[in-house]
Chain A
Amino acid sequence: MAGSTPTVSEYITHHLTNLTFGKLPNGYERADGTFVGPDGEWLMAHGAEEAAAMGFNAIHVDSMLWSIGLGIIFCWIFRSVAKKAVSGVPSGMVNLVEMVVEFVDNTVHDTFHGKNRLIAPLALTVFVWVLLMNLMDLVPIDLVPELFKLAGVHYQKIVPSTDPNITLGMALGVFILMLYYSIKVKGFGFVKELTMTPFNHWAFIPVNLFMEIVGFLAKPFSLGLRLFGNLYAGEMIFILIAALFSAGLMWMVPAGLLQIAWGIFHLLVIPLQAFIFMVLTIVYLSMAHEDH
C-alpha cells in the first residue's frame, strides 16, 4: 500500500500478505532499488514479492505470534481454571471451561476406543486453539492492521488459520503422531496394512502400497487444507465486502448487510471447522490404534 488510496487489488493483496521475516537471496533487487549482499540477508520483507523470493527461509511473524499468543491465552485460561478446579459448586469461567472439557471428553469417548492419555488433551488443545484462531476472523479486518500501521508495521494478518503454514503445521503434527502410533500399536501389522489392503494378494503389493501411501498422506493434507481453505475463503469474502465499501456511497448499505450476513454465516463456520479439525484428529489417531 504505497500510495494514499490503494486500488482494490492492492488492498486485497495487502490484506493477504503476511508480515514476513526471512532471508533474501544473493543479488536480489529490493523494492527500493538496493541489492542484497552476497551472503543473502535476513530482514523484514517489504511486500509480497520479497516475501515470495525468500522461499522456505522465512517466517510469518504475524501468524506465528498470533498463533502462539492465542495458544498461550488458551493455556492460561485453562490452567487458571485447572488450578482452582475444586469439586465444589463451579461458577463463571470454570463452568465454561468444564463445559468445553466435557464436550471434548464425550467426543473422544464416542470416537476413540483405545487407551491413550494423549488423545483427549490433544483434542482439547486442537479444538480450543483452532477455535480461537478462527475467531480472529470476526475481528473487523481493517482494525488491527490499521492499528499496526500506526505503530509502523505495514503488514499484519491476524487470522493464523488463514495461513497454510499454520494449519499444515498442526496437521503434520497429527501426521507424526499417526505414524508413531501406527508403528507402535500395529508393528508389523502396519506394513501389512500398507501392502496387503485392499487387494490381499502378493501380486498387488505395488498397487496396494501406492494406494495406501497416497491415502495415508492425503489425511494430513486434507486435514490442514480443509481448515485453511474454509477460513481463507471466509477471510477473502470479508476482504471483498470491505472493498465494496470503497465502491461508492450507494454500496454502503448492501455492503453492510452483506457484512452482517456473512458474519452470521461465518459464526457457524468458525466452530464447525474447529470441531471438524478436532474430530478428524481423533478419528485419524483412532485409526492408527485399530488393528485390523
Chain B
Amino acid sequence: MNINLTLIGQMIAFVCFVMFCMKYVWPPIMAAMAEREKKIADGLAAADRASHDLELAQEKAVERLKEAKHEAAGIIDAANKRSAQLVDEAKQAAIAEAERVKLAAQAEIEQESNRAREQLRGQVAALALAGAEKVLGAAIDPKAHADLVDKLAAEL
C-alpha cells in the first residue's frame, strides 16, 4: 500500500497506450464502421428502389399483357373478317364460274341440236325421196322432182 515509482510508471504506460490507441486503433475501426454504415444505408436504399422498380415493372407487364391481348383479339377479328371475305369471294367466283360453264354448256347443246336438226333435215329429204320412190314404184327422176323434194325438206 505504498505510493512509489509505480505511480510514475503507470502514468507513462497510460500515456503510451492512449497514444497508441489514438493513432492506430480508433481511426481505422471508426472508419470501417462508418463505411459499413454507409454501405448498409446504400444497400437498403437500393433494395427500396429495386422493390419500387419491381412494382413498376409488374404494372408495366400487366399493361403490356392487356395490350397484347387486345391486339391479339384485333388480329383474330381481322383474320375472321378476312376469311369470311375469302369464302365470300370464292363463293362469288364459283357462282360466276358455274354460270359460265352453264352458258357454255347451253351454247354447245344448242349447237349440237342445230347440227342434229340439220343432219336430220338432210336425212329426212333423202328418206322422203326414197319413200316416194317406193310409193310411186317408178324411178323418179330426182332431177325432175328436186324442186318438190327440196320444198318438202324445207318445210320440215
The interface of chain A, by Cβ under 8 A from chain B, is 16, 20, 22, 51-52, 54-60, 63-64, 67-68, 71, 74-75, 78-79, 81-83, 85-88, 90, 97-98, 101-102, 105, 117-118, 120-122, 124-126, 129, 163-166, 168-170, 172-173
Contacts and interface: CB of A to CB of B under 8 A. Distances in A.
Nearest to A90: B36
B33 interface: yes
Nearest to B31: A85
B25 A168 contact: no
B6 A121 contact: no
Contact of A164 (B1, B14, B28, B38): B1
Interface in B98-112: none
A98 B33 contact: yes
A58 B4 CA distance: 6
Contact of A22 (B3, B4, B38): B4
Nearest to A61: B6
Given A67-B13, A85-B28, A121 B21 contact: yes
A165 B39 contact: no
Contact of B4 (A55, A87, A173): A55
Nearest to A16: B1
Nearest to B17: A71
Interface string B22-44: 10111011111101101100000
A54 B15 contact: no
Given A75-B17, A164-B3, 12 more contacts: A22-B5, A58-B5, A71-B13, A78-B25, A85-B29, A120-B26, A124-B26, A125-B17, A125-B18, A126-B18, A169-B10, A173-B11
A101 B30 contact: yes
Contacts of A165: 2-4, 6-7, 9-10
A67 B10 contact: yes
B128 to A, nearest CB: 128
A78 B26 CA distance: 9
Given A78-B21, A163-B6, A170 B29 contact: no
